[in-house]
Amino acid sequence: MIDPVRTVAFDVLRAIDDRDAYVNLILPGMLRERGIEGRDAAFATELTNGTLRRRGTYDAIINLAVSKGIATVDPPVLDVLRLGAHQILSMRVPSHAAVSTCVDLVRSSVGHKPVAFTNAVLRKISQGDLDSWLARATRGKSKIEALSIVHSHPVWIIEALNEALGGDWAETEKLLAAQNESPKVTLVARPGLCEPEELPGEPGRLSPYARYLDAGDPGAIPAIVEGRAGVQDEASQLVAIGLAESPIEGHDSRWLDLCAGPGGKAALLGAIAAQRGAELVANEVQPHRARLVEQSLRKLPNTTVTIFDGREGPWELESFDRILVDAPCTGLGALRRRPESRWRRLPSDLDQLVPLQTALLARALELVRPGGVVCYATCSPHLAETRAVVDAVLAGRDDVSAAAPVNWWPHIHGTDAMFSIILTKTV
């Protein structure tokens, strides 16, 4: 019997592997297309995201359960084994149900040949609990290798996060654990368009515009459908608020979001700007992301969307009062929401990203007027993308003053891990 809920989870995992799809983009649409709602949608979401978050853990366990090792397993079958391991070891699914539904899934989606193999491996995994399997998988490993297995993060990411936390391993372990928890869906009421009380859920802890959604599809909330509200992590909201609230000298009428896609921060900035009679230029280099920005800003007549490389756009020097540089980054701070990123990103990605981040920040400082402010932000705490970029751009300059940087953390603030710093161009 084909289980449509587990089939969705399997199809999402295959799309991620085969097409480099993003779970937060593909899963909601697939659930809607197949008419999966309520508790079934919640189960599919946890099964998919949980399997992706704990993939490193389950791969280590599957490697022990497969006689010839995990490298011999075909990718589609391996995805089914991962889904089964998550149900057996981390969800309240009876082992016999997890095994039988995975056997049915591999039969219907892959074929008859791997059925017996799938059944044998998952039955072997069901003979132990998560702690006993972890004890076996980490035996003889170094501290960081063991952390990689237990918390399901690549070693290079653990090293980077530990460095960002000042070498505090206790804090690092708390962060790793927090990044494996399901994040709350956080809504944002765009000021002037929507009051927070109009949105369902509890008030946010950090942003005055935030609400925590308890359950349900945010895409079905009228204010979100109408573009008066959105889904946005509180730290992301605070980046936009921090830029908007930074004191500046002189006029305050022209704002720029240099890297606006997909549009969440731009929409909040634009709403705040509208209340002050200011205009926002929201720039995005990729046309398909620029269309997402336009969709987010459709209720704000004080905004203009442009499509340029932020390093080369045709804006006049020193013509903006406030500029946001929400730079493209590794996204290591959003691993709760984008669990596939931890398996997709590589240390070599920094070779392309850091020069881009540096150039974008340098360009923003050319475009902001004396007395104006630039906010540099990344959804990554990696020091190479945060402090090192700021230090490189400010080296040798005496016309910019920097406020103390701010970091938000999942294990401390319940948000994504974000970095933000306000730079003021002196008069």
Active site residues: 379
Residue 340 to residues 176, 232, 352, 407, 415: CA-CA distances in angstroms?
15, 19, 20, 23, 18
3-state secondary structure 299-313: CCCCEEEECCCCCCC
User: CA angle 338-199-215, nearest 5°?
Assistant: 50
CA 227 to chain centre: 21
Cβ within 8 Å of residue 397, ≥6 positions away: 365
What CA–CA distance (Å, rounded) separates 150 from 233?
A: 26
Neighbouring-strand partners of residue 324: 257, 375
The answer to whether 229 touches 296, Cβ cutoff 8 Å, is no
Taking alpha carbons only, the member of 300, 321, 308 closest to residue 260 is 308
- What are the two backbone dihedrals, phi and then psi, of residue 366, each rounded to the nearest 5 degrees? -75, -35
- Rounded alpha-carbon distances, angstroms, from residue 368 to 9, 54, 256: 46, 44, 9
**Other Cβ atoms closer than 10 A to 38:** 10
Please check whether residue 175 is in contact with residue 205, taking contact to mean a CB–CB distance below 8 angstroms: no
Torsion sign over Cα 258, 259, 264, 267: positive
